[in-house]
Structure formats: structure tokens, C-alpha cells
Chains A and B, each alone.
Chain A
Amino acid sequence: MAQNQRPASILDTLGEEIVRIITPVSICMLMVVILVSILSLDDSSSSSAMPTIATIAYSETGSDSSWDKFMGALLNSLVFVAVVTAVTFILVLLFYLRCTNFLKIYLGFSAFVVLAFMGGEIALFLFEKFSFPIDCVTFLVILYNFAVVGVLAVFISKMAILVTQAYLVVIGMLVAYWFTLLPEWTTWVLLVAMALYDLAAVLLPVGPLRLLVELAISRDEDIPALVYEARPVAHHDSGSRDGVVRRRVWSERRNVLHDSGGDVNSNAILSGNAGSNLNSGVVLSVASGHNDTRLAGAEEGRVVEANAELSAPLIDRRMNDNMHRQEEDGTSENLLLEGIGLGSTGAIKLGLGDFIFYSVLVGRAAMYDFMTVYACYLAIVAGLGVTLMLLAFYQKALPALPVSIMLGVLFYLLTRLLLEVFVVQCSMNLVMF
């Protein structure tokens, strides 16, 4: 056919990285929505009894007035943000004192806890709901294996990238589901508070995330963290599309050094200003690992994590052009750097905290109605696109939460108050346009 001889136009590959980051975000949100809609009927009674750090100041009951609920939610969010800030500062301190091994072990440990305990509980809810016959021993064996593979996927960069990506999405989904169990007002105010915190922590000069990022850049190390990394874009002339070969090409290229000048296509974000800066591998890297706050009151040692450190500042990795100086000490650090080396050639990375909070917003919208889900989904994806374009424009660390969360909350309110009545009225009278 004549079409095969036509040279590929730019439309074939433009915008590929953006789609590669929107896809896992959408999958995570979809799974949280499905979980919420399947399990929502069971948990409405038990959620208020669960003591967590986010409801420590005030636990919402159905009978309070709106103002009380709002003030209570505000108190809860302030407590939460304060705890998160304190923990992030501790993390900055640990990173400054070069306790990276401790941080990595802690990271693996929290991944295990999330997968095993939270994943196990959600699996139990699902078994209960569907009356699925399974015995304890089988379940424990499967769960243990699942969790261990997950920890390995997070730790070891030589794992197949699809497995790592899948596990990161699962971890994000599990944590997000647990956040949706919070009372309603608290969830919404918490989301807005976290967006504002992210804005402050990344942009203010004293913000902990900004300090962390600057430390990491100045030392040219990588922060051990849960980061979702999209597959790097390889265009047809630069290398084969085979994943294994590409990996070797990248790691060799890293040793050989920069020359990211040739990497034109992979960073062509549609902002029109495809200048030289875009070639240098713009990365949404992320701040540190978890903090894991155990509550004494929780019945089975259930842990609710203060995950704000996972909020993603977006970093420009232009500095990594001098990554050829090899300071790695220890193989694990080597592995970590090699894993992140993929990023410096143009793959986009997004912190897991962003996945989690986007999914919390959409999950909470799902508890009301599906129309709000669609509206909030579109708003979040639009916010993500705007953030990526701002990143291409400003070329410095940017928070990924504020724009999306603000748009999401705005669209939720507009849909709930205005759109729903309108659409239902129109449809009932078969007025369609």
C-alpha cells in the first residue's frame, strides 16, 4: 500500500511521554473507583471508628452541623500537615547526614507493610463481599509472595520495568483506597491542605522538599523514594525498541556521558518552545521515602502512613550531564543510580504521592456519583497536562499536586451543584444536544 512508503509524520510520536504518564495515573484512578464502588456499602459504618492520624483531632459524625464539620476537618488537616512537615524535615536531616541505607531499608519496609497488610485487608473485604472460598494457608502464602515480590520490584532496578510499574500502581491504589475511608469533609479539606503544603514545600526557600531536592542535585545523588518511572521513549533511529537492548544502551550511554543533544524527539512536549533545554531530560523526581506513623490505638497494628513526602517536585535533571563522575559506593547505590539513569535520558517520573492523592480525589467523587468521577478525572488529567507544560517552560522543580487538586475540587463542586441537576432534567425529558 502506498501508505507504508510515506515517512512518519510528527503526529505519530508527539506527546508520547505525556500519554505514558497519563496511562498509569488513569489505571490507578480506575482501580480505586472500582474498589470504592464495590466496597462502598460495607464501610460506611465502620469508617468512623477507625482511629488514624488524620482524624486525631476530630472524628466526624453524621449529626454535626456543616460548620462544625468544616472546623473539625480543618483541625484534622492542620494536624496532618503538621505531622507531614515534621517528618519531611526529619527526612531531610537524615539525607543530609547520609543515612541513605537506613532510608532505603525503611522504604522497602513500608512497601512491604502496604502490600501485605493493606493489600491483605482489602483482599479480605473483597472475599467477604463475593463469598470467595479460600483457606487461610493458601491466602497467606499468596499474600506473602505477592508482598515480597513487590518489595523486590521497588528495591531492585533490574526487575522487568512492567512489574515495577505495576507494583507501584498497586501500592498507590492501596494507599489511596485507605485514604478514601476517611470522613468526607476531612478528605476534601485534607486534599486542599496537601496541595497547599506541596506548593509551599517545593517553592518556598525554606520548604523541606526544596531543600531535599537541592541537596540531591548538589551531591548528584538520588533520593531513595517510591517513584513511578515511565518507559523512556526511543525513536526509531536511535535504538531498537527492545526493552533489554535499550537498557544496555542507556547505561552505556550514561557511562560515556551526556550528548543528550541528539535526543531531540523524546522531549518534544507540545509547548511549542522545543528549545535546547528540553533535550536535557526533564524529570519529575520525588522527595524521600515514607514515614510510617504507628498509632497506638489501632487494633491490629494497622499503620496509616503520612505520605506527603511522596508529593512530587518536578526537577530538571540538566545537572546530570556531569553524571559521568562515578562516586557510587556500594552496589545497591549503583543499582539505584543505574535505575534512575533511565530517567536522565528523557523518561518522565512521577512521585507516588501524586498518584495517591489524585486517586483519593476521584475515589471520593465516586462515593457521590459517577458524573463527578468523569468530571474530576478530566480535571485532574488537564491539571497534569498543565503542570507538565509549566515544567517544560520553567525548567525547575515544580509541585505536581496543586493545579490538579484545585481543578479537581472545583469541577467536583461545579458538577455536584450545577451540572447534575441540569443533565438529569434534560435526560428525563429526553432533551439531548
Chain B
Amino acid sequence: MTVAAGIGYALIALGPSLSLFVAVISKKPFLILTVLSSTLLWLISLIVLSGIWRAFLPLKSTTWWPFALLIISSVGFQEGLRVLFWKVYKRLEDTLDAFADRVGKPRLFLTDKMQIALAGGLGHGVAHAVFFCLSLLTPAFGPATFYVDRCPQMPFFLISAIIALAFVTIHTFSMVIAFNGYAEGNTTDQYFVPVVHLVAGMVVKSASA
């Protein structure tokens, strides 16, 4: 719809994460590296999922259960990945603490750990926004726009930008909640995150059906 609209959509999806990045993460280089590695991990999980589902695409859009299956399998896979991320993070924390002892600096504070979790979640969120929203925005820089049958009131790009914004928030903070839950053994927190993820995915799908 013009370059201005395209940039607008990109900022809707990524604006808050950009401000979070500039305010919190850009000051500490380690967090920048954490963001990059968690983005990479999310991308790898997406590639694996697409490899598995490639044979079944394109899905018929009339029945709803293939999509449900897709969502459940994808969310399950990503939550499993989050547990893996947690295990790697535990080992990383031990290494960092040992290193801090050797260098003579204090060990990781709680805020440091939460910042690492925030950076990890932000990586996931940014990856989601980039691959589900930004990469499809190239046509939006042109003079026309595109509407989807299921929601003809708004251009498709606006819909995907708003949903991407919501998912960025979910991803970013669910990592913090999940890591806190795993660290303290708090099962409500631990189950809260995958449930929210799944519900969000299903609700988005069913609202548009």
C-alpha cells in the first residue's frame, strides 16, 4: 500500500520489541548474543516443522481439523524446545558462575537471570514476527493491498501485523515465566506457558474460520 504503510505494518509488529531491545538488551552484549541464538533456534524448529509438514501441504481450507493438528504439533514441538532451552541454560548458568568466580566478579543476580530469559523470549518473538509477518510484507510496499476472505474488513497485512505483535508479547514473556517456573519448581507457571501458547494459536485459527 506504499512504503509508508509497509513500514507502518513492520513497526506495528516489531515496535515494542525494538524498544525493548534498545532499552534493555543493547547495553549488554551477552544478551544480544542470546537473542541471536534463540532466534536461530526458533528458526531451526520452524524448518524442522516445515520439513515434516511439507508433504501434507497445501491443506484444504474447508475442514478445520488439519489445521488443529498442525497447531497442536507445532506448539508441542516448540514447548519441548523450550524445555531443551532451559536445560542448556542451566549448564550455561553454571559455566557463567564458575567464570565469574575465577574472574572475581559477583555471581549472576536474579535480575541477570531474568534478563537472559527475557532475551531468549525476545529472540523467539522476533523470529516469529520476522517469519510470519515481515517476510510477507514485501508486496505491501507496492501500491495495492490484499484482503483475506475470512476477514475482509482489514487488509491482510494489518491482521498479520497485529497478531504478530500479540505473539511477540506472548513469546517474550512466557520465556521469563517458564524459566521462573522451572527454577522454582512452580508447576502452575510451568503449565501456564504451553497452555497459553496453545490457546492463543487455536483461538486465532478458530476466530478466522
Residues of A within 8 A of B (CB): 6-16, 18-20, 22, 264-265, 268, 270, 272, 274, 369-371, 374-375, 378-379, 381-382, 385, 411, 414-415, 418-419, 421-433
Contact = CB atoms under 8 A, between A and B. Distances in A.
Nearest to A382: B40
Nearest to A18: B33
B172 interface: no
Contacts of A20: 29
Contacts of A8: 105
Given A18-B33, A272-B95, A433 B75 contact: yes
B148 A14 contact: no
A428 B47 contact: no
B124 to A, nearest CB: 11
Given A423-B135, A428-B148, A433-B75, A10 B201 contact: no
14 contacts: A11-B30, A11-B112, A14-B30, A15-B30, A265-B103, A272-B99, A374-B130, A374-B131, A381-B40, A411-B47, A425-B59, A430-B160, A431-B71, A433-B200
A378 B40 contact: yes
Nearest to A271: B95
B39 A378 contact: yes
A73 B30 CA distance: 41
A369 B204 contact: no
B136 to A, nearest CB: 6
Question: Which DSSP category, helix, strand, loop or mixed, fits chain B's interface?
Answer: helix
A378 B36 contact: yes
B7 interface: no
B201 A14 contact: no
Nearest to A428: B148
B135 A374 contact: yes
A230 to B, nearest CB: 12
Interface string B48-65: 011101100111010000
A9 B167 contact: no
Question: Which DSSP category, helix, strand, loop or mixed, fits chain A's interface?
Answer: helix
A431 B197 CA distance: 13
Interface string B19-53: 00000000111111100110110010011011101
Q: Which 3 A-B pairs have the closest CB atoms?
A: A422-B50, A371-B135, A19-B29
A391 to B, nearest CB: 16
A11 B28 contact: yes
A418 B45 CA distance: 12
B132 A10 contact: no
B193 interface: no
A432 B201 contact: yes
B131 A371 contact: yes
A287 B9 CA distance: 45
A433 B78 contact: yes
Contacts of A265: 103
Given A369-B138, A370-B134, 13 more contacts: A9-B109, A13-B29, A16-B29, A268-B99, A268-B103, A370-B137, A371-B135, A378-B40, A419-B50, A423-B132, A430-B148, A432-B132, A433-B75
B99 A422 contact: no
Contacts of B167: 432-433
B187 to A, nearest CB: 23
B24 to A, nearest CB: 12
Given A11-B115, A385-B33, A430 B163 contact: yes
A404 to B, nearest CB: 13
B159 A430 contact: yes
Interface string B81-122: 000000000000001101110110111110010011000000
A418 B54 CA distance: 6
Given A10-B105, A19-B29, A433-B201, A381 B36 contact: yes
A290 B13 CA distance: 44
A411 B50 CA distance: 13
A429 B33 contact: no
A369 B53 contact: no
Contacts of B160: 427, 430, 432
